[in-house]
Structure 1
């Protein structure tokens, strides 16, 4: 029994570790880099563990960013992203192709994150450098970061479904239909949750 490790390029580096038997190298195995989702899943289930490398490569950034939006710091986001991919690897046989692989991974990610964070307030940590790429006065930077911390804290106080809907809609710009598939809700419920999430967020920030 060997341990396979996938390295992520998202800063800071993180890795996903799962356990499985090594894949025998065979010349008749077709390359996987250009394979579609169905082919990758089939190859992985047939014993080609490197097929999951490709799945991780294609989806690691979105999964990591989803986790970061829930916890607000790189260390916890890295741990959660690992958990998402390990669960996906172990539960790959349950993927029936009724949704895209990305939607399925988002669903696992939301469940993992909500179970982890509960109602805790995320730690304040920037996801990257100043997006504008220009000099920012220290006082302005402090105000911006404090406001960002207030927003994260307010989002963390939203009910779980509202929090997940807001993160998927605002930060990941997913359509209502895809969010409904991720959360196992109707499109109408997603729209209602998003509406209530925005209203509740405004109230929380007003009193922050």
Structure 2
């Protein structure tokens, strides 16, 4: 049997080419990295950084300054005015200012004296306007109603002055020094009907002598 050499070589070449092409096609399907990389799914994003958590027992609180009427420095008292006969009212404001400094706690007295110094000359001649300075300062004092001397003094006032309010008494007493609490107690006992508790809250030390 004779085989044409030319045809045989052509046949072998055809088989070789077809085999190589088939190998490449099969490798593309079997090996993933030969596929189109654009079709690959995106890589996952990195996890977020760990968030610091406070222990359950940790409490965040804002600092609140304690109320303290012992820290304060009253200013100078108003100058003594002209005698009443010459159109002034003398040393009324100056005298009451001195009382405030002695009977009130430092910061409370500081507010009361500051109020007096802001009054006009005419207002310093008005006893009620002067007492209003004392009243406002005392009503803004730190609460000291649980103090033993306050309880004792207000009980004594309530016992001798019918209808006296222990609540009002404690409010006024809170801003007073011991000497002021004693003066207020004596005033309320003597002037229960005409002044009452609040009328004696900044009692004059001169009147108690």
Query: Could you say which TM-score interval applies, normalised by the shorter chain?
Result: 0.3 to 0.5
TM-score (normalised: structure 2):
0.34
Larger Rg: 2
More strand by share: 1
Higher helix content, 1 or 2: 1
- TM-score, normalised by the number of residues in structure 1: 0.34
